[in-house]
Structure formats: C-alpha cells, structure tokens
Amino acid sequence: MAAINYDNELRRAGANSTQGWRRLAFLAQRHMLGTIGLFFMVLFVWAAAFADLISRYDPLSVDSAHALAHPDMRHWMGTDSFGRDVWSRIIHGARISLAVGIGSTALGSLFGVSIGLASGYLSGWVDLVFQRVTDILQALPLLVLALIMTAALGPTLPNVIIAIAIPLIPTVARVIRANTLALRELPFVEAAKSIGMSETRIALRHVLPNTLAPLIVLATAQLGSTILTEASLSFLGLGIPEPYPSWGRMLSESAAEYVRTAPWLVIFPGIAISLAVFGTNLFGDALRDILDPRQRG
C-alpha cells in the first residue's frame, strides 16, 4: 500500500512539473519580447558571475605595445589607448553595472516601501510629512539629483549606489502609498482590527504582501534606469573611479578623442549599455502584463 501511494505521489509530482514547464513555454510564446529581455538579463548576470573565466586578459593590465589594437583573434574587441583588452573590461564592467543597478534599486525600494507603507496606512500628519519630503525629492530629475549626491559624497562605488538610490525613493513611495490607501479599506483589514490585531502587524503581515506585485514590476523597470544613470555619472567623471572598468567611463575616455580613429572603443561599450537597458525594460513590461489582472486575456 505504501509503495502504491509513493508511485501516486511521483506521478503527481511529474504531472505538476510538466504543467509548470508548459505554462512557462506558454508565457514565453505569448510574451516573446519579455523572453528576449529576460535572455539579455540572464546573459549579463552570467557574464558578471563568471567574468574571471570568460575574460581573456586582466581588465586592469596595461600593454603599451598593443595600444589601440584593432579587433582580431587575440583581442576580440580591440584594445584601448593603454593597451587594455576591451572585451575583458566590458565583461568585468557588467559586475559594476549590476552591482550599482541591483544595489541602488534594492536600497531605494527598501526606504520607499517603508515610507509609502507608513504614509498610506497611518495617514494624518505622518502622511503629510512624508509626502512633502517626497515632493522635494521629486522636484529634481533622477540624473540631476544623482549628480548632486555623487558630487557631495564622492565618486566611490558605495556612494554611487547611495546617490542613485535616493532619487528612486519617491517613486517607490508613491506607488506603495497608493496601493496601501486602497488596501486599508478592504474587509480583511477591518476583520484583522476586529480581532485585536495590532496596527503594525496588520501593515506588515496583511497589507505589505499585497503591494509586492507592483513593487516587483517597478523595481524591474527601474533597474534599467539605474544602469543608465550609473553610465551617465561615469561618463561625466562622477561615477566609478579609475581603474575599475565601467561602461560609462570607457565611453568618457574614448568618445571625444578616438571616435574616428578607434570606433570600437565607443561601439562596444555603447552596445553593452543599450542591451542591458533594453533587456530590463522589455522584461519589466512583460512582467507587468503577467502580474496585472487587467492585462490578461
């Protein structure tokens, strides 16, 4: 009898696994652009994780004898003015871009969720104070505020993450506040209050989990903008300092002086930035369609 039950459990597990793969295949076919975006995201994450294995040279090593070498079998994407391999620098630059993108998005989302949840659920003077602070932060565009923060804090990796995370807080806070205002009026919140559950427990256990779907979509969409902002800061000389490889810094070093004589110094970092932002935006749009019931057919 036990053997029969075990066989039945195996069949159910196999059927559930098959249904899961079929559902993933259906979603991939229906959201083809989102699948392409996910492919680019996975590709960059894989490149960043295994950069030491797939890069052919040390991205920081200088080889003056092969400075500005054209792309060939030895240097797939050529070399820069210091003889550094462009392929290796782009691969290792993926680590910088992902670290800044994920770090700043996570940090901005953490503070944004805290402010939005407290503002929407507690209301009153708390909502008034938090909304005026977010209005002040939203008065400046993302890049301008990031420039101000980076100039004040200094061009280091942790400071760049903080500088880009701060302008993200108001957007996240607004989205979470709007969802919290709608959720706190629903019957399940009133039921939790009627049994004597504390306000903090209601907010964290019942309201917060129901705001995660729009938060995931928003964070995915913001990931591309943070990567682009980091590249812009590095291009202007306020991002990741030398000698660390950064896509924006690579463009800054070569755009004006070598765009005609060594165009590969501009083309390949530009393609890397474009594909990273393009992939995250496509995946974010598809994720919004999947998680939003109003978008389902």
Nearest to 241 by CA among 147, 153, 155, 143: 155
pLDDT, one tens digit per residue, over 135-188 is: 887 777 777 888 888 888 877 888 888 888 888 888 888 888 888 888 877 777
Secondary structure string (H, E, C) spanning the chain: CHHHHHHHHHHHHHHHHHHHHHHHHHHHHHCHHHHHHHHHHHHHHHHHHCHHHHCCCCCCCCCHHHCCCCCCCCCCCCECCCCCEHHHHHHHHHHHHHHHHHHHHHHHHHHHHHHHHHHHHHCHHHHHHHHHHHHHHHCCCHHHHHHHHHHHHCCCHHHHHHHHHHHHHHHHHHHHHHHHHHHCCCHHHHHHHHCCCCHHHHHHHHHHHHHHHHHHHHHHHHHHHHHHHHHHHHHCCCCCCCCCCCHHHHHHHHCCCCCCCCCHHHHHHHHHHHHHHHHHHHHHHHHHHHHCHHHCC
Please report the pLDDT score of residue 24 as a whole number.
Answer: 64
Contacts of residue 54, Cβ cutoff 8 Å, sequence gap at least 6:
47, 91
Above 60 in pLDDT, residue 297?
A: no
Model pTM? 0.81
How much is the mean pLDDT over the chain? 80
Q: Which of 16-20, 91-95, 226-230 is the least confident region?
A: 16-20
pLDDT band at 97 (very low <50, low <70, confident <90, very high): confident
Q: 20 pLDDT exceeds 70?
A: no
Among 230, 129, 122, 211, smallest CA distance to 172 is for 211
pLDDT of residue 149: 81
pLDDT top residue among 291 and 134: 134
Residues 115/169, Cβ–Cβ less than 8 Å: yes
Considering Cα of 18, then 20, then 21, then 26, what sign does the dihedral take?
positive
**218 or 7: which carries more pLDDT confidence?**
218
* Per-residue pLDDT, 61: 83
Asked if pLDDT for residue 192 goes beyond 80, the answer is no
Q: What pLDDT, on a 0 to 100 scale, did the predictor assign at position 153?
A: 81
Residue 77: φ, ψ to 5°:
-120, 20
State the average pLDDT over residues 231-251. Answer: 80
pLDDT band at 18 (very low <50, low <70, confident <90, very high): low
8 Å CB contact between 79 and 63: yes
Q: What is the pLDDT of residue 46?
A: 92
